[in-house]
A and B are shown apart, each in its own frame.
Chain A
């Protein structure tokens, strides 16, 4: 509950900082202070189990250890995002304070969609998360690609909201309890009404839209490619994993009893996501577009959590959120400063910028899932959850095969970094400060620590 309050208030503070503070770098420091504050208040609530202000929410919010740990991971990743990309956000345009304000409003939406207990707050949380993103996508106002990405994202987002609401209306009409609370829907007690079946399918389609799972992914590559690179890194990581926690909570609490009936649909979506994400990523020349497709492929692994729906799946989702977000944010922090954003742009980076090359390699290894990195542990937990589920064992084999395919396109970049001759200047020297290098190394070290000791993170799930 702390997180919702403080992120909303700090968003307003950031908005006013854009008006009253003329210095261009002050909003960045204010934003870093805000996110540190968010980490602290949310961590305190996770540690003590008591919010600072105990207002009555009519049981519309639930703050379990799982939810708060997830939020802590989100805020921690955003802290690294600000530290690594803060000066790049300043370069996007004139309105620096507003960009940070919008990011804080997105975090408020994330906090709502991680703790919601009624379908009303699910809807509001997803909307608060999406609407600022439409603006951030179009923040490069003169760039036609950014305009196009923004309009496309907006139309697709509004369309999927319509489907989500139709699903909610049908769920409400179909359950005899006349309730929006996700734990009072009583679906699976007695025969399932036709309206509830319709609602379930609508909700599944809408949430697949939001997490860009195939076959509802078609907006994602264009939007991630067109929006300013700093913001596409935020959208691909924080917002996507937040969509997944909304997904898993809804399907566990509301539809957990009838999971045999919708598991087939999830299997189809998962396999389609693996196939389309990985195969298309192989053929991309632009690294940014390749990462967009690979983020669809990574969504396939997170969908395994919704397929499995057990305790291991929840632990795995938290670990995956941390591993995937940190590695992608770190890699994009390097990519955003590259002069040439194709794979050739990385040629010979190992000779010219050894620290950047080493950390970029580690981020890519973690995304592939090589042992001793957090990415490996995350994929391992996901596969273990799918095995423990007991049915449809073959989906694990498919997942492992496509993880091997993903090695091809990640390693293509590593090959360019170390085994090609440098062509021109890959990255301007004034763009590489020592603070930036230190932050990259710290991110890489955290990925290795999480890879060696995942219990450090997972233990908190059962703390409350």
Chain B
């Protein structure tokens, strides 16, 4: 499989994530769609890393093509930190309103 297939798959996942964030009303589902966006990026980074390590230009350069794979681990860690904060916020909202519907978010609009 060429790199194009990976780019198409990853962009598809990313678009599903974006549409989910914009369309869905359940806070947890919106949140899962954000995670889907991050995972699409992870897939793309690993694919690019393999692509670069196969090319000769990268071998000649000072940096290593495996940088992107290390980047993926950082994304996973930050996503985990974000999950812990995000779920706490959703639980806090549920305690006060007994709902996790983001349509509820209209009190500030005068």
Contacts and interface: CB of A to CB of B under 8 A. Distances in A.
B48 A172 contact: yes
B23 interface: no
Interface in B95-110: 96-97, 102, 104-105, 107-109
Contacts of A142: 96
A148 B75 CA distance: 26
Contact of B108 (A123, A158, A163, A222): A222
B89 A134 contact: yes
Contacts of A127: 78, 81-82
B92 A150 contact: yes
B1 to A, nearest CB: 15
Contact of A148 (B17, B34, B37, B108): B108
B108 A225 contact: yes
Nearest to A132: B85
Interface string A143-162: 01101111110110011011
Which of B7, B37, B97 has the most chain A CB within a 10 Å cutoff? Answer: B37
Nearest to B63: A179
B61 A135 contact: no
B74 A147 contact: no
The 6 A-B pairs of least Cβ separation, nearest first, read A162-B37, A178-B58, A178-B52, A173-B48, A165-B41, A222-B108
A238 to B, nearest CB: 20
A55 to B, nearest CB: 18
A226 interface: yes
B8 interface: no
Which of A152, A158, A184 has the most chain B CB within a 10 Å cutoff? Answer: A158
Contact of A151 (B53, B70, B90): B90
Given A120-B71, A148-B105, A148-B107, A161 B89 contact: no
User: Does more than half of chain B's interface fall in helix, strand or loop, or is it mixed?
Assistant: helix
A138 interface: yes
Nearest to A165: B41
A155 B31 contact: yes
How many chain A residues sit at the interface, stated as a range, is 35 or more
Which of A144, A221, A225 has the most chain B CB within a 10 Å cutoff? Answer: A144
How many chain B residues sit at the interface, stated as a range, is 35 or more
Given A151-B90, A173-B48, A131 B96 contact: no
A162 B90 CA distance: 19
A155 B102 contact: yes
A180 interface: yes
B85 A135 contact: yes
A178 B57 contact: yes
A445 interface: no
A151 B27 contact: yes
Interface in A155-191: 155, 158-159, 161-163, 165-166, 168-170, 172-173, 176-181, 184
Interface string B35-73: 001101100110010011101011001010101101100
Contacts of B27: 151, 155
A61 to B, nearest CB: 16
Contact of A159 (B21, B40, B70): B21
B81 A131 contact: yes
A166 B27 CA distance: 22
Nearest to A169: B44
B82 A148 contact: no
B45 A169 contact: yes
Contacts of B107: 144-145, 148
A145 B41 contact: no
Nearest to B86: A154
A124 interface: yes
A387 to B, nearest CB: 39
Contacts of A152: 105
A264 interface: no
Nearest to A284: B110
A155 B93 CA distance: 13
Interface string A104-143: 0000000000000000100110010001001100100110
A160 to B, nearest CB: 10
Interface in A432-463: none
A179 B108 contact: no
Which of B34, B53, B90, B97 has the most chain A CB within a 10 Å cutoff? Answer: B34
Given A144-B96, A178-B67, A151 B105 contact: yes
Contacts of B74: 120, 123-124
Nearest to B6: A173
Contacts of B17: 162
Contacts of A168: 41, 71
Nearest to B44: A169
A158 B82 contact: yes
A350 B3 CA distance: 68
B86 A177 contact: no
B71 A151 contact: no
A120 B27 CA distance: 29
Nearest to A118: B67
